[in-house]
Amino acid sequence: MKLGKEFLSFCLAGVVMLGIVLGFPTKAHAQQASFTNILVAIDAQEILEDYCRPTVNGGVIEWVDCKGTQARPQMVNTDFIHMLVKQDRAVSSQGGAELTISAAPSDVIRWSSTSFSNNSAYTVPLYKFRKIGGASDLLNNPQHLVTENCSAIPKSEGRQDIPACGRTGDVTYGGIEFRRQRQDGDFWQATVLATGRQTYTFDFTVLDQKGGSHGFYRWDPYIIISYR
């Protein structure tokens, strides 16, 4: 009986070694779930010029009569949308309104947005994500998440009273002084359940520095997920 157990252990070890040599998946070689961050860069200025009417108030251009409502957003020209991902995750269409990425089931995809002005003149929050085509079980239901961030931001000469966050004091690099400041962020997140093609819509608005909305917009990209 003892010999039988030793023989069984020997055979099992041989099977594992053969699997490694032939490339069969083993626990040691299993892929780990990872995060893929997609940055959606939106040309807010071009959108305002195309879908709003300019008016001059006190020498300042303001945008009025913008198209779309929160319930029925205006479909936008996809030339104004650019999606970016790490180069090693991009299969094709990097920088365009559609994107093909490499991922695996259980991987997590996150979408965040920014304007071409780096959110200084306008912000472009994504407020709705909806799956509309493709395999219904490709992604789980996306969630909108908000994070409390503490980021190093250049200090303004006129705003020395901005409270710092964290325990690190002000630092200076290249003659520029930085202070860690509270700067919350947000993103949409979904888990990959299978590979394939998924079409979806994102709804967003363009906000000025006072928080005023200048139209509601939508585009319907697709994402193709292939094994990495």
Position of tokens 């594992």? Answer: 16
In terms of pLDDT, which residue wins out, 227 or 197? 197
Q: Among candidates 108, 114, 109, which has minimal Cα distance to 126?
A: 114
Report, as an integer, the average pLDDT of 48-72.
94
- Among 54-63, 97-106, 115-124, 189-198, name the one with the lowest average pLDDT: 97-106
Band the pLDDT of 18: cuts 50, 70, 90: very low
Given a cut of 70, is residue 194 above it in pLDDT?
Answer: yes
The b/e string for 21-35 (b: 16+ C-beta within 10 A; e otherwise) is eeeeeeeeeeeeeee
- Global pTM reads 0.78
Exposed, middle or buried: residue 7 (CB in 10 Å: 0-12, 13-18, 19+)?
exposed
Question: Residues with Cβ < 8 Å from 86, sequence gap 6 or more?
Answer: 36, 37
Q: Is the dihedral of CA 46, 47, 49, 54 positive or negative?
A: negative
- Collapsing DSSP to helix, strand or coil, 89 comes out as helix
Given a cut of 90, is residue 217 above it in pLDDT?
Answer: yes
Exposed, middle or buried: residue 118 (CB in 10 Å: 0-12, 13-18, 19+)?
exposed
Q: What is the spatial distance between Cα 217 and Cα 71, in angstroms, rounded to a whole number?
A: 10
DSSP per residue, 168-214: ---EEETTEEEEEEE--EEEEEEEB-S-EEEEEEEEEEEE-TT--EE
Q: Is the dihedral of CA 144, 217, 78, 64 positive or negative?
A: negative
Q: What is the pLDDT of residue 134?
A: 64
Q: Among candidates 193, 192, 191, 213, which has minimal Cα distance to 203?
A: 213
Given a cut of 90, is residue 162 above it in pLDDT?
Answer: no
Q: What is the pLDDT of residue 71?
A: 94
Q: Among candidates 170, 190, 168, 188, which has minimal Cα distance to 179?
A: 170
DSSP run (H or E) holding 34 = none
Question: What topology does CATH give the domain 33-134+193-224?
Answer: Immunoglobulin-like (2.60.40)
Degrees (nearest 5) of the Cα angle 219, 223, 227? 170
88: alpha, beta or left, given left = phi > 0 and alpha = psi -120 to 50? alpha
